[in-house]
Amino acid sequence: MTDITMPKLSDSMEAGTILSWLKADGETVAAGDELVEIETDKANMTYESPEAGTLAIVASAGEALPVGAVIARVGAGAEAPASVAPAFEVPAAAPAANGSAASTAVAATPIARRLAAAHGVDLSALAGSGPRGRVTRADVAAAAGIAAPAAPKAAPLATAAAPAAPAAQAALGPAADGVEVRELSRLQQVVARRMAEAKATVPEFQVQTEVAMDAALALRAQLKAAASEGGVVPSVNDLIVKASALALREHPLANGSYKDGRFELHPRVNVGIAVAAQDALVVPTITDADTRSLGSIATEARRLAARVRDGSITPPELSGGTFTVSNLGMYGITAMNPVINMPQAAILGAGATRTVLARNTDGEITDRHLMTLTLTCDHRILYGADAARFLATIRDLLEAPLRLAL
């Protein structure tokens, strides 16, 4: 008999919440079968059985447990305590209106479960389009006859966040004066705690510059014209990611971290892209962005953003970032001061590209496209001059962007 403990699914994970059991208590399972869906500090993911045998569930769905706590046992003669909750209990989501108990046994993303509960869709009747046949939000939306979330027209970096479904955040009921109080999800709690820690512990400062984006926009237009039908065309945000990655290679301190009184300079350039999920900010990582082509960065960014939206993103895809890019330009925001994603040395905030009047070299008035970039830095590892040189390199690469296409 083998104890199955709450796994440590990311470097920063301290505890996890059991969302649902995918196998029944007492059911015979094979090694590699998906047993349980767990909410971590980075994502929701399934955990597989380490061996074959009979499953005995120890911790019920909805429980938040520290890493290392026993959640089940598997093997010959495995027995669960009498207090074990019924298998397949799904927290904060009512059963489907048609009363089908099988819905909770189906492999589905948490968002899909909540949407199915809200619209009375039987998950067991759906063919999942996600990884390993998981039912996604789009599958449920199609079955319910409602509009599926539209893919963003701009870069996936700050995908528009849909309003959270009522079950996504447990309502605690009306408070005084009719104020509605909602419980934060574990991911929201982690984001709130880390942002507060960053503001309290990191001596941060910002440097800002204006970038003439005319050449970069012209390059993107050329890439779009040359792309095959259905091919992925790099977005402005993909250009920013590539420029940042090349600049990080030239300025290793910006690709480092301050930890325990020392500088840690990372050998790989892994750029995180901030994506607005349904109820939190998620930062998947484009690994080795400095050696990738623009096309590879564009393809990977879209893949990661799609996995964030359908809830299938995994902790490895959210780990290892050495720098972060956050873009609110698609919302018309001209500038932003982003909060550092600890323990990274810096984060880059990008605003919208806007048209202004300027004089060219001949003195004639012409249109120019400007974008504001703001770099938030940890002053313990990056000083003002370091930050200025790093940001100037990003600006220079975007203003003369042929190096980005190499």
- Cα atoms in the 13 Å half-sphere on the side-chain side of 45: 19
C-alpha 32, offset from chain centre = 26
Whether omega for the bond prior to residue 95 falls within 30 degrees of 0, making it cis, is no
CA distances from 175 to 163, 179, 180 (A): 21, 5, 6
CA distances from 345 to 210, 315, 382, 396 (A): 21, 21, 7, 21
**What are the phi and psi torsion angles at 357 (to 5°)?**
-90, 135
What number of other Cβ atoms are within 10 A of residue 267's Cβ? Answer: 7
Nearest to 205 by CA among 386, 55, 19, 353: 386
C-alpha 342, offset from chain centre = 15
Q: Report the alpha-carbon distance of residue 13 to residue 7 in Å, rounded.
A: 9
Instruction: Give catalytic residues, as residue numbers.
Output: 379
According to DSSP, residue 98 is labeled: T
H-helix or E-strand spanning residue 35? strand 34-39
End-to-end Cα spacing for the chain:
55
The tokens of 378 are what? 């940890």
Could you identify the residue written with the tokens 């893919």? 151
Nearest to 325 by CA among 235, 212, 199, 215: 235
Nearest to 378 by CA among 241, 246, 197: 197
Q: Report the alpha-carbon distance of residue 125 to residue 100 in Å, rounded.
A: 10
C-alpha 114, offset from chain centre = 19
CA distances from 112 to 93, 186, 211 (A): 11, 18, 41
